Amino acid sequence: MLTYRRPEGLAEAVGMLRAQLDLVPGARLLVVDNDEQPSAAAAVAEAAGGDVRVVYVHEPTPGIAAARNRALAEAGPEAVVVFIDDDEQPSEKWLATLVSCWEETGAAAVVGPVVSRFDAEPDPWITAGGFFVRLRHETGTVVTTAATNNLLLDMEQVGSLRFDLGFGLTGGSDTVFTRTLSASGGRIVWCDEAPVEDLVPADRATREWVRARASRLGNSDSRVQVYLASPGRRPIARLRATARGLVRLGGGGARLVLGLTTRSLTHQARGTRTLLRGLGMLRGARGSYDTEYAR
């Protein structure tokens, strides 16, 4: 579990994950503190209550990619590593279910669903736009990309692959990592029975935040697409990313106009989401990016 200046929820998160360890013999919890100073050390120690299965390390290098790589280094080349965010709550048998799916499938990675839960009822426009709805699959489905907010990695199959530090402050290093893993033959399998809940605070359930997030997602998508292309094919990748962005821009704009004309909240919100994602794609295609994790 990576953490950065979130002392108010850390004790609860450590407590819930300690309960998960009880169901998986030999499991331990590694907390990677990505603050410049080891600000989470005392909170983790108190929450651990002397439990030797809870390990704290401090990774001062800024950026989520550096923190992820520190987790892999601490775990070692023969470990099975499971990532979860410090603001998520696992389902009752989450860890055991992910491990069982890995044992049954022999996959290089197993990814589970993330379901958003809100502190307060969100704006109906946000709900209509599906801004926090994530795609789900049947268990056993092979996917080619995944985020690290609910992800198991078999380090023997991962090998020397690491998260790209060039995406450490912008986001997208998990997408680059998993797409590279998949392209090299590592199977990433979906496990729908191992969900976690993403706790969405009120300051994120706003129109301003979800608009910015839609643009960031599009931006990261195009940037990753161009980055993963071979040097000789990057101009083509930029053109493709630009074309995809223009399609979304046009389609989203048309749906937004339809929503305004018909007074449909769903068309207005979903049109806005698609349009902004398209704008983000266009910026990503030409090399512009957002520093989501900037300090």
CB contact at 8 A, 268 and 231: no
Kindly report the length of the chain: 295
User: What's the chain's Rg over C-alpha atoms?
Assistant: 20
pLDDT given for residue 294 in this prediction: 65
- The answer on pLDDT for 7 being more than 90 is no
- The answer on pLDDT for 289 being more than 90 is no
pLDDT given for residue 83 in this prediction: 98
Rounded to whole angstroms, the Cα distance separating 117 from 202 reads 11
**Among all chains, which residue has been given the structure tokens 């990016």?**
289
pLDDT given for residue 68 in this prediction: 97
Rounded to whole angstroms, the Cα distance separating 294 from 215 reads 17
Rounded to whole angstroms, the Cα distance separating 47 from 31 reads 12
pLDDT, mean over the chain: 95
Q: Is the pTM of this model over 0.85?
A: yes
- The answer on pLDDT for 242 being more than 80 is yes
| Residues of the chain above pLDDT 70, percent | 99
- The answer on pLDDT for 293 being more than 80 is no
- The answer on pLDDT for 292 being more than 80 is no
- The answer on pLDDT for 291 being more than 80 is no
- CA angle, corner 70, sides to 173 and 136, nearest 5? 45
pLDDT by residue (tens digit) across 135-184?
Answer: 999 999 999 999 999 999 999 999 999 999 999 888 899 999 999 999 99
Q: For the beta carbon of residue 153, count every other beta carbon within 10 angstroms.
A: 30
pLDDT given for residue 295 in this prediction: 66
DSSP label at residue 121: P
Rounded to whole angstroms, the Cα distance separating 157 from 80 reads 10
**Distances 229 to 168, 225, 232 between C-alpha atoms, Å:** 19, 7, 8
Rounded to whole angstroms, the Cα distance separating 23 from 275 reads 45
Query: What is the mean predicted confidence (pLDDT) over 278-292?
Result: 89
Put residue 263 in one of left, alpha, beta given phi > 0 → left and psi -120 to 50 → alpha. left
- The answer on pLDDT for 185 being more than 70 is yes
Neighbouring residues of 90: CB distance < 8 A, sequence distance ≥ 6: 16, 17, 20, 84, 196, 197
Neighbouring residues of 56: CB distance < 8 A, sequence distance ≥ 6: 31, 33, 40, 41, 44, 45, 48
Exposed/middle/buried for 95, CB within 10 Å: 0-12, 13-18, 19+?
Answer: buried
Q: Which of 103, 112, 95 is nearest to 20 (CA)?
A: 95
- The answer on pLDDT for 290 being more than 90 is no
Rounded to whole angstroms, the Cα distance separating 107 from 142 reads 9
DSSP label at residue 22: T
pLDDT by residue (tens digit) across 24-81?
Answer: 999 999 999 999 999 999 999 999 999 999 999 999 999 999 999 999 999 999 999 9
